[in-house]
Every structure is written in C-alpha cells, then in structure tokens.
Amino acid sequence: MRNRIVTALLVLCAAASLWAHHSTTAVFDLSKKVTVTGTLTKVDWVNPHIVLSVDGKGNSGAVEAWRFEGSPPSWFRRVSIGRQDFAKAIGQTVTIEANPAKDGTLYAYLVRIKYEDGTALEIVPDQK
C-alpha cells in the first residue's frame, strides 16, 4: 500500500512539472510586449521549441543578444511555416514583437516577426 501512495505522489509531481514546462504564462509575461529590431543571427529549429537569436540595440544603444522562443517545429509545419521562412533572414535586420520573460532576461515568447522586405509572420495572431 505504501508503494502505491509513493508511486501516486511521484506521478503527480511529474505531471505538475510537465504542466509548468508547457505553461507559457509560467515563464513569460503575456500582458507585456517588447519590440526588438536587430540582426537575426541564428535559428534553432529543434524540439521542444524553436529559438531565434537576434542581436538588437537596447535602450542604452549597446548591442544585446536576445533569444525568442516559439512553438514546436511541428506546430509551424501545420500552419505552413517552415525553417526556411526564418533562415532566409539570417544576417538581415528583423523586427520582433514578443512577450518578455518574467525574470527580466533578454528572453521572450515570439509573437510576430517582420522582415526587411516588409513581409511579416504572425506567430500569435490574437495578440494585436
């Protein structure tokens, strides 16, 4: 009986940590937005989430290395957005709107990306 209780507690703890990992609101402040303009330096098209790296100028004028997390690659494929849609802009200036990390680091949840040619990808279209 004791083993069953311990097993049940371990399963509940594991489920809670999985929920926290997949909870955007646990890491990012969805009530706030940041806009960063800079050079797209890297696209990590990996599970569990894609990550874009951008060197952008901060308020002080100094270059800051930002990271923007997006949905998993499988989600992007379902909405007809591929790695090439991001990779084509490596080395170019992009403007990204995102929800900032709650801890104040240069990390944010990708909402929208606009390219030099004026085209844009709406990643989270309900956040205008």
Q: What is the pLDDT of residues 6-16, one digit of tens each?
A: 555 555 544 44
Give the pLDDT confidence score for residue 1 in this predicted structure: 66
Q: pLDDT (tens digit, 9 = 90+) per residue, 57-68?
A: 877 778 999 999
Helix (H/G/I), strand (E/B), else coil: 47: coil
Q: Which residue in the block uniquely carries the two structure tokens 């989270």?
A: 124
Average pLDDT over residues 47-56: 96
Answer whether residue 20 shows pLDDT above 60. no
Answer whether residue 19 shows pLDDT above 50. no
Q: Which strand (E) or helix (H) includes residue 63?
A: strand 63-69
- Nearest alpha carbon to residue 113 among 87, 102, 101, 105: 87
Choosing among 2.40.50.320, 3.30.70.270, 3.40.50.300, 3.30.365.10, the CATH entry for 23-122 is 2.40.50.320
Which residue has better confidence, 128 or 60?
60
Please count the other Cβ atoms lying within 10 Å of the Cβ belonging to residue 35: 13
Q: Cβ neighbours of residue 32 under 8 Å, at least 6 residues apart?
A: 99, 100
Q: Which residue in the block uniquely carries the two structure tokens 């709650």?
A: 102
Which residue has better confidence, 13 or 80?
80
Whole-number percent of the chain with pLDDT over 70: 79
Helix (H/G/I), strand (E/B), else coil: 88: coil
* Structural domain boundaries in the chain: 23-122
Mean pLDDT of the residues in the chain? 85
Average pLDDT over residues 41-55: 96
